[in-house]
Every structure is written in C-alpha cells, then in structure tokens.
C-alpha cells in the first residue's frame, strides 16, 4: 500500500513536469505565430 502511494506521487510529479514543459513550448509557439502573422500582413 505504501509503495503504491509513492508510485502515484512520482507519476503525479512527472505529469506536472510534462504540463509545465508543454505550457512553455506552447508559449514559444504562440510567440512565433504572432511574429509570423505580423510579417505576413
């Protein structure tokens, strides 16, 4: 039972890390798209 809780906590941390990385990448993409749109017009 105790080990299961540890595994679940570790998985939750991994998910948080992935979400943060995803947000950072998305932000970078949005910035690039903004610049690209301005260049087009």
pLDDT of residue 41: 82
Query: Rg of the chain over CA atoms, in angstroms?
Result: 18
Look at residues 16, 14, 12, 36 and name the one whose alpha carbon lies nearest to residue 24. Answer: 16
pLDDT at 4 (0 to 100) = 93
| pLDDT tens column, 1-41 | 689 999 999 999 999 999 999 999 999 999 999 999 998 88
- pLDDT value at position 11? 96
Domain ranges of the chain: 1-41
**What are the distances in angstroms from CA 3 to CA 6, 8, 25, 27, 28?**
5, 9, 33, 36, 38
pLDDT at 2: 81
Query: Hey, what are 19's tokens?
Result: 């979400």
């Amino acid at each position: 039972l105790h080990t299961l809780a540890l595994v679940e906590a570790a998985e939750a941390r991994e998910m948080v890390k992935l979400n943060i990385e995803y947000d950072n990448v998305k932000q970078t993409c949005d910035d690039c798209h903004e610049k690209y749109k301005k260049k087009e017009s």
